[in-house]
Amino acid sequence: MVREIPVYHIQHDFTDCIKDVQEGKLEEDSFYINKDLTLDKIKEYRVNIRSQDDSEYDAGQGNTFQKVTPDRYRAILDGDLCSFQACSSDYSAETEDTEWTAVDAIDTPTSQYVLGDSNGNIHLYYELFNPLYKIEEAHFGDITSVKFFPSGKLILSASTDMRMKIWSLEDRFNPRTFVGHQGPITDTAIIDRGRNVLSSSKDGKLKLWECGSGKAVATMFRKENPNDAINSMSLLVDNSPGREQNNGPLEFGTLGKRALAGHSSGVVTMHDIFSKDEQLQLPNEFMCACNAVAASEGKQNSIYAGYQDGTVAEWDLRFPAKSVSSISFNKGTPINTLCATDRFLYISSEPDTSIKLDISGENGSSTSQEPATFLVSNDNKVSQFIQAPRKDSVVSVGNRGFIAAYKVYYNS
């Protein structure tokens, strides 16, 4: 059974309202919390801030709002508990012209971030999002994926222009372009040390590439429908010890690697990169497209899938016939992206809602058991999340130049 999560939006600058009263700039102030009743109807609550209040505030009619930490808050509204987390750092662009579409991070040789935008540009930043440079017109369409190679000296970019490219961060040179997909590339993965890379596309294909030659080594697809568009991909890595094997002269480190592919049909397939076999299918349980897939290192057999109708489901790969649990919020609006860390699942939904779920509870909690924390923004649509290099925060990027870091708390 799908659990419905009520959606709340809080005034994005509510922490400034609290700060102004606490610092004596104002005697009192207020801000709103809106609960979405339907897609076009809301209920508004007003939280009143007064100088004599410390960490708990009146939200009217017996409702309360409480400060937990400097960036975490919770409210009891009509008997329901809802939680909010403000960003710990806001690195948003000064202008709202930029729409960020992809992000990655690495701590080698130092903390670095790479971002792609909707105009085909690639932007490199070092720690705390200090800009280094921009590669203009790297692609002729939206950047859909950017990935650092393990060395931290190269990046892989992909785009709706059906091309994938390698870039040197030292001189911005493009030594290799991969051509062969017949539809927009939707996701990428770097295999092992980076001699092979993997791509997914709206043409329904997963392609394994060899970086030295630029050749497509193998093509994988859903058996029943080779043209079933792939909207999202996630790489699963088996780290158990074993004998290293190469599968031919153009494959390196593919043993123990599997790819999850979320299809427009709603089916999720899993492919063994070494054998090229399709190992299993997760059925179209929710009768709509699968837009996003993600896997958590902390839950070996669990994966998460986000769907066009606003549903997010947890699946156990050992029992693929039916999902373990599922949630829905903003029902009827698409899930944009998922990001799973060892403890949390980050979810973005159209048009402007992002939440965090704790998935690390006793015996590995499922999506049906934990309350959601709403990530506060100025009604921004988040396109991607990435864990920061030191794993102390998760960074989200999106429209109107939005870049924000949310601190990771391992204690409730």
Per-residue pLDDT of 250-306, as tens digits, reads: 999 999 999 999 999 999 999 999 999 999 999 999 999 999 999 987 788 999 999
Separation between Cα atoms, residue 300 and residue 306, nearest integer Å? 19
Tokens describing residue 303: 């994966």
Region 338-364 average pLDDT = 87
Alpha helices (H) in 245-377, listed in sequence order: none
Tokens describing residue 58: 């009146």
Given a cut of 80, whether residue 94 has pLDDT beyond it is no
Separation between Cα atoms, residue 267 and residue 285, nearest integer Å? 8
Given a cut of 50, whether residue 364 has pLDDT beyond it is no
pLDDT band at 363 (very low <50, low <70, confident <90, very high): very low
Place of tokens 């939206």: 142
The proportion of the chain whose per-residue pLDDT surpasses 70, expressed as a percent, equals: 95
Given a cut of 80, whether residue 154 has pLDDT beyond it is yes
Contact 337, 383 (CB under 8 A): yes
Separation between Cα atoms, residue 352 and residue 235, nearest integer Å? 27
Task: Output the CA torsion sign for 211, 216, 221, 223.
Answer: negative
Given a cut of 80, whether residue 88 has pLDDT beyond it is yes
**Residue 48: Cβ-neighbour burial (10 angstroms; 0-12, 13-18, 19+):** middle
Mean pLDDT of the chain: 93
Tokens describing residue 163: 């091309």
How far are the Cα atoms of 106, 110, 378, 408 from residue 390, in angstroms, in the given order? 9, 11, 26, 11
Separation between Cα atoms, residue 85 and residue 412, nearest integer Å? 12
Given a cut of 70, whether residue 67 has pLDDT beyond it is yes
Region 48-52 average pLDDT = 90
Q: Please state, as a whole number, how many other Cβ atoms lie within 10 Å of the Cβ of residue 261.
A: 29
pLDDT of residue 171: 94
pLDDT of residue 244: 61
pLDDT band at 412 (very low <50, low <70, confident <90, very high): low
Given a cut of 70, whether residue 240 has pLDDT beyond it is no
Q: Please state, as a whole number, how many other Cβ atoms lie within 10 Å of the Cβ of residue 6.
A: 13
pLDDT band at 378 (very low <50, low <70, confident <90, very high): very high
Tokens describing residue 403: 């870049």
